[in-house]
Structure formats: C-alpha cells, structure tokens
Amino acid sequence: MSKKDRHLIAGIIIVALGAGALLCLKGEHAGFTRETTQGEKNGIEPEPGRPALSNADSAPAELAIPAKYQFAGVSGVLAATDEADLLARYTPAQRELIGSFYAAYGVGRESGGKYAFSNVFSFHSADQLRWLVSQGFPTPDDVLAAAMMSDEELKTLSDRGNFKASAFYLGRQSAQLPKPGEAVNRAALAADVDHLKLAGDILSEGSAFGPYAYARYALASGQRGMALASLGYAKQLGDMRDDFALAFAEANPDIPPLEVLTGYQLVQSTSMKNPRLRDLSALARRPRFEVFPNE
C-alpha cells in the first residue's frame, strides 16, 4: 500500500469514527484468532459451574443483564473490578474456553495497564463491566452455556429472536465458511445467504457487540475492508475502544481504501434498518464505554 493509500484509509476511519491510539492486535487472520470449536475441545467441556447467579445470597453484587440480552437462563454477572478478578472465579479449563471465544473477535495488546484492552470483553473498572453487560456482550457464563449447546439448539433460539444465540450461531458458522479458493456448492451458497441476513440482523439490533460479530463474519468471508469498517463502527454505538479498528488497518496494510469506504457505507446502511440507529443525536447520547476509567 502506498503512503497515499495509508493516509486515505486513516482519513476514512478518522472522519467516520474519530481518532484513537493504536493497539497492536495479534493472532491468526491479522487481528483475530480462531475460536476453539466443540470438536477441537478433545473432551474438555465446561466443568460444573458456580451457583446460579440469581441466588440472593451470592456475593459480591450481581449486575443484571437486560432481558433482551439474556441467554440460557443467565440473568446476571457477578460484579468485578477487572477481567482478571472476574475470570479468577472459573477453572483453568473454563478460562481456556472463554478466552478462545473472545479471541475470535479480536485480540488487543497485553501491556499498557488499565488503558490496554486484550479482547472485546476486557475491562478495568466496574463501570466498564456494567456497560459491557448492558450492551449485550456475551458474558463468561453465556460463553460456557453456549459451548454446551449444539448448532441446532442455538439456531432454534436464534430463530426465536434471541440476540446472543444468534451471535453464537453466526460465530460457529463463520468458523466453518469455505476458505478462499475452496470449492463452494449450492447448498453452501444458500446457507451463506441466510448467514448474511443473520449478520445484518445482529448488526442492526443496536447492541455494541453487533459490529464485532459482523466483523468476524465479514473477515471469515474474505471481506477485510468490511471487517475493518465494522470494527470501527462499534464506536458509533458507544464503544470508545476504536483502537481495534485502527490496529486492524495497521495489520492489514494492503486493504484498498475504496474497499474500506464501501464497507463502511454498507455497514452503516445495514445498521440503519433500525430506526433508532438513524438518529445521530440519539447515537451521541448513548452510554459509552469510557476508555479512561474514573480514578
């Protein structure tokens, strides 16, 4: 990519999404790693877990998950001061499974203290966790519950309108998409049309996790420009960690600028199927994930 093209891509992102510092993403597919599938767990299943989160005697306090984002009976998440505090409550096998899921949506830098975010569920304050929960990001308990379900079970819940089931199902299908150059049969093409519609529905729901799910699907489909645009669009929904989009651009310097611009236009038009996402003033008033937590 020429210096001119680099500046053009940077300009597209900055104009559309706002400026941000670079986070060095690493992993497969230049910024994403592949989620461990059920068949690759080699028999490692989530171990019998913690007491139900609805237990009134549980401590510390529980953060309630909005009803529209509840999944598999998980109604809340125990409060935590940072992701290490939260994950310490799980077994090593559970942490490995949880980490594999989050890494599939992008990996951030490991150093930098409270201003570095290692993945999409990374947080460094109680307020940041509260925002993630309120915006429909899958919690560790959600991830463990989904890991116990078949594709058919997830699809059934997705067809009934469950947001997280749709995201989990799309994630699995994304991992199974044909690689560039592989033969594609008619059945696979028909299924991909359905997956594209599902990806659009997830994006337009309004959850700030939607752009990450859409980006994963786009990347698996070989549409890096679309993936970059979708990663950046998360900022429009209140996720101020736009560093992921800028870092992805750094890791993929050969993406044509026009592909990024076209991708952003499509991402924006798809999201605007939801009337609530057409009102720019309302978007500006959305709760935000503040990168710099209160001291």
Q: Name residues whose C-beta falls within 8 Å of residue 104's C-beta, 6 or more positions apart in sequence.
A: 32, 33, 34, 35, 171, 175, 216
What pLDDT does 191 receive?
A: 56
Q: Name residues whose C-beta falls within 8 Å of residue 63's C-beta, 6 or more positions apart in sequence.
A: 76, 77, 78, 79, 129, 130, 133
What pLDDT does 49 receive?
A: 44
| Cα→Cα distances 114→8, 82, 215, Å | 31, 9, 25
**H helical segments located in 24-91:** 28-31, 83-87
**CA gap 27, 4 in Å, rounded:** 27
Low-confidence ranges of the chain (pLDDT < 70): 1-60, 108-114, 178-192, 293-295
| Cα→Cα distances 292→23, 28, 83, 124, 247, Å | 15, 29, 16, 9, 19
What pLDDT does 109 receive?
A: 60
Q: Which residue has the tokens 């420009």?
A: 225
Task: Return phi, psi of residue 271, to 5°.
Answer: -65, -30
Q: 62 - beta bridge partners?
A: 78
What pLDDT does 87 receive?
A: 96
What pLDDT does 182 receive?
A: 58
**CA gap 121, 139 in Å, rounded:** 8
**CA gap 30, 38 in Å, rounded:** 23
Provide the 10 A C-beta neighbour count for residue 160. 9
Angle at 275 between CA 66 and CA 165, to 5 degrees: 40
**CA gap 45, 182 in Å, rounded:** 31
Q: 74 - beta bridge partners?
A: 71
C-alpha R_g of the chain: 18
Contact 80, 129 (CB under 8 A): yes
Q: Which two tokens stand for residue 31?
A: 């910024």
% helix, strand, coil for the chain, step of 5: 55, 5, 40
Element (H, E) at 171: helix 163-175
Q: Across the chain, how many H-helices and E-strands are there?
A: 14, 2
